[in-house]
């Protein structure tokens, strides 16, 4: 049975909240989320959504994405290294087995991994609870085995969900979920057991959305990243903001797009009050400094509205 309102989080206007602070007086917590993905050539076909809309094998679609792993990601390493930025990798975890060289290159840089499902061609749609839990547990075990990291974050593969995904993530001790686009600050999610926050990932600054859906040029993408940062940085003086730059090596790692990213990052990190963070670092800070106050704030709001 479907619902009209998923009840994922409480309503809370951003202008009426406890002040959010970041370490060292930063105004913006900046995190970079390269999506390191593996799309299968001949995946099983999900009845709700075909993995390859043009039919399979889709040589062009497959090869473009594989380019990201053979070529693009290595350019992104260089650009991010130059700006002293670590990635928080949105990882299709099967890539640990397919391309250990990439995993090792991330690990050596101190990058964080979080789960983006097994393959980007495997969706959560239609899974039962046991199947979905198995996917989550497999992600934790696979990344731990290959990297020694216990993953704390989740972005559903191809942004496919079920109504119980957040509950299962909280149950399995995840710290943050990236699937929600309702805010520029971390925000408590309503789960029945444990706790979980949404960490602002992004569609608006995501090269996949901007190039792939909005059909923007590289220079327009550069303008978007600069303007996004300038606005959040100005607002961050009053209360902290999160800026995420989700990247896809098969898009931003193309030679003609690399400069746009490089120039935008130079602009951003040229500002003093920027916290170069990873997903877990932001989540840990939020839990330590702000989560309880926000939950109390929301409880008071709920109480006030039920009285009214």
Q: Which residues bind other proteins (CB under 8 A)?
A: 2-6, 8, 11-16, 48-49, 125, 159-163, 179-184, 203-205, 214-216, 220, 223-228, 230-232, 235, 305, 308
Rounded to the nearest whole angstrom, what is the least distance from the CB of residue 220 to other proteins in the complex? 5
Rounded to the nearest whole angstrom, what is the least distance from the CB of residue 302 to other proteins in the complex? 13
d(CA 72, CA 252): 7
C-beta of 2 vs 192, nearer to other proteins: 2
C-beta of 149 vs 209, nearer to other proteins: 209
d(CA 8, CA 179): 11
**Residue 89 three-state SS:** strand
C-beta of 16 vs 55, nearer to other proteins: 16
C-beta of 141 vs 227, nearer to other proteins: 227
C-beta of 104 vs 129, nearer to other proteins: 129
Give 163's contacts (C-beta < 8 A, 6+ positions apart): 3, 6
Rounded to the nearest whole angstrom, what is the least distance from the CB of residue 71 to other proteins in the complex? 27
Rounded to the nearest whole angstrom, what is the least distance from the CB of residue 223 to other proteins in the complex? 7
C-beta of 162 vs 278, nearer to other proteins: 162
**Residue 37 three-state SS:** coil
User: With b meaning 16 or more CB within 10 Å and e meaning fewer, what string describes 124-146?
Assistant: beebeeeebeebbeebbebbeeb
C-beta of 147 vs 160, nearer to other proteins: 160
Select from 88, 116, 94 the least CA-distant residue to 284.
88
User: With b meaning 16 or more CB within 10 Å and e meaning fewer, what string describes 17-45?
Assistant: beebebeeebbbbbbbbbbbbbbbeebee
Structure tokens given for 46? 């999900």
Q: Is the peptide bond before 57 cis (omega within 30 degrees of 0)?
A: yes
C-beta of 30 vs 73, nearer to other proteins: 30
Residue 197's beta-bridge partner residues? 176, 188
Backbone angles phi, psi at 88, to 5 degrees: -110, 110
Rounded to the nearest whole angstrom, what is the least distance from the CB of residue 139 to other proteins in the complex? 19
Are 256 and 218 in contact by the 8 Å Cβ rule? The answer is yes
CA torsion sign for 254, 268, 205, 185 is positive
Are 25 and 273 in contact by the 8 Å Cβ rule? The answer is yes
C-beta of 63 vs 203, nearer to other proteins: 203
d(CA 42, CA 35): 21
């Amino acid at each position: 049975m479907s619902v009209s309102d998923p009840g994922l989080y409480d309503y809370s206007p951003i202008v009426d909240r406890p002040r959010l602070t970041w370490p060292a007086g930063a105004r913006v917590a900046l995190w970079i989320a390269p999506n390191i993905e593996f799309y299968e050539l001949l995946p099983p076909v999900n009845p709700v959504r075909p993995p390859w809309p043009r039919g399979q094998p889709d040589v062009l679609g497959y090869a473009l994405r594989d380019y990201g792993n053979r070529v693009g990601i290595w350019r992104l390493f260089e650009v991010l290294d130059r700006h002293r930025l670590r990635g928080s990798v949105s990882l299709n975890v099967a890539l640990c087995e397919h391309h250990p060289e990439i995993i090792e290159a991330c690990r050596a840089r101190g990058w964080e991994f979080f789960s983006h499902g097994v393959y980007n061609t495997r969706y959560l749609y239609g899974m039962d609870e046991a199947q979905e839990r198995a996917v989550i547990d497999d992600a934790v075990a696979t990344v731990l085995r290959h990297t020694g990291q216990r993953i704390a974050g989740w972005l559903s593969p191809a942004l496919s969900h079920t109504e119980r995904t957040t509950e299962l993530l909280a149950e399995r001790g995840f710290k943050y979920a990236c699937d929600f686009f309702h805010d520029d600050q971390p925000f408590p999610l309503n789960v029945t057991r444990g706790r979980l926050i949404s960490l602002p990932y992004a569609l608006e600054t995501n090269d996949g959305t901007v190039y792939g859906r909005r059909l923007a040029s590289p220079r327009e993408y550069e303008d978007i990243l600069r303007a996004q940062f300038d606005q959040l940085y100005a607002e961050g003086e009053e209360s902290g903001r999160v800026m995420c730059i989700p990247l896809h090596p098969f898009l931003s790692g193309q030679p003609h797009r690399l400069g746009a990213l490089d120039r935008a990052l130079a602009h951003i990190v040229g500002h003093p009050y920027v916290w170069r963070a990873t997903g877990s670092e932001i989540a840990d800070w939020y839990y330590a400094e702000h989560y309880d106050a926000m939950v109390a704030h929301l409880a008071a709001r709920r109480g006030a509205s039920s009285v009214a």
